[in-house]
Structure 1
Amino acid sequence: MIIDGDGHILGRLASVVSKKLLDGENVVVLNAEKIIITGSTDWAYARYKQRLDRASISNPRRMGPKYPKRPDDIFRRTVRGMLPYKKTSGREAYKGLKAFVGIPREFLEVETSIVPEAKARDIKKNTDLGEISKLLGAKF
């Protein structure tokens, strides 16, 4: 299944993708930088910045937990949180997920699908995942 992430809400899309992964499907998500986070930009930036800061001060000898900055990696981490990742079934399901910034050459001619229950409708405050990533310092 190939999904175009443009205009989809992060949590709703991640929950649908995680269910499909647990069912044994392989899922590819394109345009991860255009996935929407609901809420103000300041709120979303503060939330992800707090995670990055927590990763650097927890233990100086063992830097972690590692939180991503790139939009495709943030989406993958969100999906991972919805899977039983510490079990074998969750790890195997997680291997079936691929997320990309933009559209790679091999997917230019392929027909993409949308997830109707994850599309944004009448949201006043929102920001793109790519914008948050740029504020966090990601280069993509």
Structure 2
Amino acid sequence: MKTFMLRKEDTDRKWYEVDAEGKILGRMATEIAMMLMGKKKPTYTPHVDNGDFVVVVNAEKIVVTGAKLNDKIYYNHSGYPGGLRDRTLAEVISKKPEEVIMLAVKRMLPKSKLGNQMLTKLKVFAGPSHPHMAQKPEKIEL
């Protein structure tokens, strides 16, 4: 019996739409990361990008548990001395709610070129509308 290895040409990608309204950030991000990697497919192969496209809408209406809105801090450094900038989760959600979901999912993907390629299949939008209706994404409930 031979081991099955998926080739890049044999991948079958679908489009899914996830409504983030009222969803817990971390639990939603793990499910999205699994779909981007293709881990729920029977043809999963670790070294091939077999995942699906995921469109997330209503990113501004996510929910976090506990006191994370004020306690969770996102750090950025400009590269210059004294260039460390920190922002709380509440600040990031108010300015760029898409960034919160992108970062949560990015940190759950492989830290390699393949992980970067998987992240390009994630499309996040703050409001309920998106420009990917032509692909007819299938709405799923997480």
Q: Same fold (TM over 0.5)?
A: yes
Q: Mean alpha-carbon deviation: is it higher for 60-69 or for 87-96?
A: 60-69
User: Matched residues in 2 for 1:110 and 1:92: separation?
Assistant: 20
User: Relative to structure 1, is the Cα distance of residues 110 and 26 closer, same or farther in structure 2, using a 3 angstrom cutoff?
Assistant: closer
Residue 110 of structure 2, aligned match among 62, 84, 89: 84
Moved over 2 A (4+): 58-69, 104-113
- Higher share of residues assigned strand: 2
Task: State TM-score, norm by structure 1.
Answer: 0.63
Is residue 17–residue 27 contact of structure 1 (8 Å, CA) maintained in 2?
Answer: yes
Structure number with greater Rg is: 2
Q: Percent identity?
A: 29
Relative CO higher for 1 or 2, CA cutoff 8 Å, sep ≥ 6?
A: 1
| Count of paired positions | 107
Listed as ranges, the gaps of 5+ residues in structure 2 are 1-15, 39-50
Report matched runs for 1:1-140 at 5 Å: 1-23=16-38, 24-40=51-67, 43-48=68-73, 51-52=74-75, 55=76, 59-61=79-81, 63=83, 69=92, 70-85=96-111, 87-104=112-129, 106=131, 112-115=139-142
Listed as ranges, the gaps of 5+ residues in structure 1 are 116-140
**Is the partner of 1:36 in helix, strand or coil?**
coil
C-alpha RMSD of matched pairs (Å): 3.0
Task: State TM-score, norm by structure 2.
Answer: 0.62
Superposition deviation, residue 110 in structure 1: 6.7
Superposition deviation, residue 113 in structure 1: 2.4
- Higher share of residues assigned helix: 1
